[in-house]
Each structure stands twice: as C-alpha cells, then as structure tokens.
Amino acid sequence: MIGILYFSTITPIFKQGDREDVANYRPIFILPYFSKLLEKFMYQRLYSYVSKLDTLYTSQFGFR
C-alpha cells in the first residue's frame, strides 16, 4: 500500500451570497471507491484498538 497515490476530484459547491466571491463556495471532495473502502477499514481497526485500551472519555462525542 505504501507508495500508492489516491486522487480526488474537488468540486466547488455554492453556499450563498455573491457568486463572484470565492469565499461563498465550499469544496466537496469526490473520492474513489477504493479510498472510501480503505478509510472505513482503517476507522474500524483504529476505533476497536482505542476502545480496547479504553482511552476515550465517555463524555467525549466530537472529534473522535
């Protein structure tokens, strides 16, 4: 897996306001299917490891 590059397509989505102002757009990253699959796999492995070590606070909900 080391050395493989993953590319995503960045699509600007208009929020509101002046369409000429770049700050009124937010980027949406379109990832390849394999990248999404790899991300889910890594999340499951890391989350189970951290849960087993009991390092997360029970009252922490954001930034997990």
Whether residue 23 lies inside any domain: the answer is yes
**Cα distance between residue 28 and residue 42, in whole Å:** 22
User: Could you tell me the residue range of the domain that residue 20 belongs to?
Assistant: 9-53
On whether residue 21 sits in a domain, the answer given is yes
Return the structure tokens found at 33. 């299917």
24 dihedral zone (left: phi>0; alpha: psi -120 to 50; beta): alpha
How many domains, the chain?
Answer: 1
Round to whole Å and give the CA distance between 32 and 42. 16
Inter-residue contact 15 to 25 (CB < 8 Å):
yes
| pLDDT tens string 18-57 | 999 999 999 998 878 888 888 899 999 998 998 888 887 7
Is the pTM here over 0.75, yes or no? no
Residue 47 lies in a domain: yes
Q: How far apart, in whole angstroms, are the C-alpha atoms of residue 40 and residue 4? A: 18
